[in-house]
Amino acid sequence: MLSNDVKALGTGDACEALLLTAKARVIAPLVVWRRGADDFLLLTEEGLGEAVRAALARARFAAKAEIEPEDHEAWLVLGAADGGGIPNADYGLDAVEVLDERPVGDPVDPEELERLRIRARTPVWGKEIDDRVLPAEAGLVERAVSLDKGCFPGQEPIARLHYRGHANRGLRILEVEGVPAFETEVRYGEKAVGRVTSSVPGLALAYVRAEVPADAELEVEGCKARQLH
């Protein structure tokens, strides 16, 4: 059912994955942690747990599998690469996610954490990821999809786009003025070519049309903007 090869995980290993519709629209982004030979914990965003459980339960058929919800509190520890946590690649730094045990240390300012995420070009649910977005547009194929595993919902459109075409838009980091709001238009000349999804002072993530040159002078809220990469 999931986009990544979770069977290949060793005990204690984790990977990113997606639960998709048949048309490759995202139902939920996941981190899959193999806690034991037949024990997988699927971590997702708050509020999506029941949708994940219901989708998996509907597809269970005759397989003997228990699908139960668990509530956990997660803490991100920056600067840690291993040792007692689930690896996290969302912020461009070594990091692990620790469940149900508050770590020792000073908390990171939320704006600085968001800046790190934007610089790492990491999409999150409700901003860069929703049912309008294809995995390839959000850069999720490289990090959460196996193109070699067996069938899963959404595999055909993902493979077709990967091998025979290209996404019409992509997630880009923009240098901007101010803090543009969610869904603010990105313009190139007289045309709207994208939309802002996340921002902090001076920096934003935005979906931008693929044909827009990397060095194009863009406009966001009447001010100049440029793509960093």
**Paired tokens of 145:** 């999809």
For 209, counting Cβ atoms within 10 Å of its Cβ (0-12 exposed, 13-18 middle, 19+ buried), the class is middle
Q: What's the pLDDT tens digit per position in 34-80?
A: 999 999 999 999 899 999 999 999 887 766 788 999 999 999 999 87
User: What's the confidence (pLDDT) of residue 60?
Assistant: 78
| CATH class of residue range 169-227 | mainly beta
CATH-assigned architecture of domain 6-164: 2-Layer Sandwich (3.30)
- What integer best gives the mean pLDDT of the chain? 93
**Paired tokens of 63:** 């397989």
Q: What's the pLDDT tens digit per position in 156-215?
A: 999 999 998 889 999 999 999 999 999 999 999 999 999 999 999 999 999 999 999 999
**Paired tokens of 206:** 């935005």
User: Could you state, in order of their start, the residue ranges of all structural domains in the chain?
Assistant: 6-164, 169-227
**CA 161 from centre of chain:** 18
User: What's the confidence (pLDDT) of residue 125?
Assistant: 97
Residue 115 scores a pLDDT above 90: yes
CA distance 112 to 222: 26
CA angle 173, 96, 105 (to 5 degrees): 100
The answer to whether 6-164 and 169-227 have equal CATH topology is no
Helix, strand, coil content of the chain in percent (nearest 5): 15, 30, 50
